[in-house]
Amino acid sequence: MKLLVAIKRVVDYNVKIRIRPDGSGVDTANLKMSMNPFDEIAVEEAVRWKEQGKAAEVVAVSVGPQGAQDTLRTALAMGADRAILVQTDAEVEPLAVAKILKAIAAQEAPDAVLLGKQAIDDDSNQTGQMLAALLGWPQGTFISEAAPDGAGRVTLVREVDGGLETLSLALPCVLTTDLRLNEPRYASLPNIMKAKKKPLDVTTPEALGVSVAPRLALLKIEAPPARKAGVIVASVAELVDKLKNEAKVL
């Protein structure tokens, strides 16, 4: 079984972002970039399937600037076999990413595509669903457990509003990963060194016949209002009075 894992290069989740003064977007200059945490879970799951003998090859793919090669090298250090970068400096929207992944899937013929349920920069939660629709494949979203049976199906557990839902999907399929699926490993130094020698192919959206022209217009980005300082009260009676007359929540 061949697995295709889509990953995205985002601002590291530990970094406090800054908004450009003109409100046109997030200022990413000199910020630490890393793999989207949900995609990191997808890479870990694919590598585990390979280690269990349920998959023969794991191919990591990313859409983004040249710097995304570092993110792909991280996936290779975690255990992916090879990587593909679809290089572009444009801001690529979820539909364009889904079309690019469809083109890559047509070339690679994977048995399953794994990716994070959403990216922490735009929180769109759209790419996996769009990709499944374009490919005409079954999809399992927000999965917290997954187990291929070796007979052309994968059993998974996904989180829904009312609890947990268990599904059995036929391969090929698209899976989007949730936080509780696994805990990604740290890449060891020997594996980081080995990753430098693993193949990483570079292509472009144009070579795949996909347009990344934007369909949406970003009007403005603004930070949430600063929280007001709290007030220390001297007694319960004063607290109740403020909740009733000032906050008006009682």
Please indicate whether residue 75 or residue 22 has the higher confidence score (pLDDT): 75
Asked if pLDDT for residue 225 goes beyond 90, the answer is: no
Chain segment 75-129, per-residue pLDDT in tens: 999 999 999 999 999 889 999 999 999 999 999 999 999 999 999 988 899 999 9
CA distance 63 to 164: 32
Closest CA to 19 of 92, 91, 121, 119: 121
- Name the pLDDT band for 22 (thresholds 50, 70, 90): confident
| Amino acid at residue number 193 | M
Contacts of 173 (CB under 8 A, 6+ apart): 112, 113, 132, 137, 138, 139, 140, 154
- Alpha-carbon torsion 33, 37, 40, 42, what sign? negative
In this prediction, residue 29 carries a pLDDT of: 81
Chain segment 152-190, per-residue pLDDT in tens: 999 999 988 888 999 999 999 999 999 999 999 998 999
- Residue 67: both structure tokens together: 């710097």
In this prediction, residue 156 carries a pLDDT of: 95
Identify the bridge partners of residue 167 per DSSP, sorted by sequence position: 156
Please indicate whether residue 246 or residue 98 has the higher confidence score (pLDDT): 98
Percent of the chain, pLDDT > 70? 100
In this prediction, residue 84 carries a pLDDT of: 97
Q: What's the mean pLDDT when you consider all of the chain?
A: 92
182-202: b or e for each residue (b if 16 or more CB lie within 10 Å)?
Answer: bebeebeeeeeeebeebebee
Please indicate whether residue 50 or residue 26 has the higher confidence score (pLDDT): 50
Closest CA to 208 of 116, 83, 88: 88
- Residue 193: both structure tokens together: 């060194």
Asked if pLDDT for residue 247 goes beyond 90, the answer is: no
Contacts of 163 (CB under 8 A, 6+ apart): none
- Indicate the length of the chain as a whole number: 250
Closest CA to 185 of 49, 74, 31, 54: 74
Helix (H) or strand (E) holding 174: strand 173-177
In this prediction, residue 37 carries a pLDDT of: 95
Domains and CATH numbers, the chain: 2-245 (3.40.50.620)
Closest CA to 46 of 115, 97, 106, 98: 115
Identify the bridge partners of residue 61 per DSSP, sorted by sequence position: 6, 84
When pLDDT is averaged across residues 23-37 and rounded to a whole number, the result is 86
Per the CB < 8 A criterion, the answer to whether 167 and 155 are in contact is yes
In this prediction, residue 72 carries a pLDDT of: 96
Closest CA to 118 of 135, 139, 95, 142: 142
CA distance 75 to 83: 8
In this prediction, residue 200 carries a pLDDT of: 97
- Name the pLDDT band for 68 (thresholds 50, 70, 90): very high
Helix (H) or strand (E) holding 115: strand 112-116
- Name the pLDDT band for 20 (thresholds 50, 70, 90): confident
Backbone angles phi, psi at 21, to 5 degrees: -55, -30
| Amino acid at residue number 84 | I
CA distance 235 to 78: 56
